[in-house]
Amino acid sequence: MTHLISILVLLLKIYATKSCSGISLKTQELYALVFIARYVDLFTEFISVYNTIMKIVFIASSLAIVWCMRRHPVVRRSYDRELDTFRHYFLIVACLVLALLVHEKFTFREIFWAFSIYLEAVAILPQLILLQRSGNVDNLTGQYVFFLGAYRALYILNWIYRYFTEQHFSRWIACVSGIVQTALYADFFYYYFISWKNNAKLQLPA
């Protein structure tokens, strides 16, 4: 739900303000790739109606955000192209190679799952770098990044719970990646809480 809230906040920002200023297209493209790779089983394995709906929501919303930032005649004009220069394809290649080398089972589905986990851990990097370069962060963008980071931090608790309650828990790749991803948010969380405590505008040091 925290993850879903982050996406809804981002969609609210784009559709309410007709602006994507402060949002990294590179990060949104990485997240779209994460969801497509992770949910390759969408049409081959049924777990529950809820599970299927959420998979479709995450894939569709991420593709919609990318489309708006690239194609919407008004929204795309506000894209911070000069600040969003992170070479995200390096992350894609590195995560794919890592997935081929470090995985739980050498199958098509498991390789793509590991790839999605590794890529999600670092997908926020272009966004954080863009915010650092711009300095000032508007309220909705700050809320989006906060909920996105909170989702991953809470997910660590999920893996801890499953470790102690499941007899054959083996998702250590997700645990390590989740810790790495949460650590990347540490600096942002610090300045977010400082601004919240002082009831001031969120500013990140350049």
pLDDT digits (tens, 9 = 90+) for 139-150: 888 888 888 888
CA dihedral 21, 30, 146, 155 (to 10 degrees): 170
Instruction: Give the pLDDT of residue 184.
Output: 82
pLDDT at position 163 is 77
Model pTM score: 0.87
Structure-token pair, residue 125: 């990097």
Tokens found for residue 153:
């931090």
| CA–CA separation, 43 and 36 (whole Å) | 12
- List, for the chain, all residue ranges whose pLDDT scores fall below the cut of 70: 136, 169-170, 196-206
CA distance 139 to 144: 9
Neighbour-count burial of 53, counting CB atoms closer than 10 A to its CB (0-12 exposed, 13-18 middle, 19+ buried) = exposed
Torsion sign (Cα): 158, 163, 166, 169 = positive
Q: What pLDDT does 31 receive?
A: 95
CA distance 193 to 177: 24
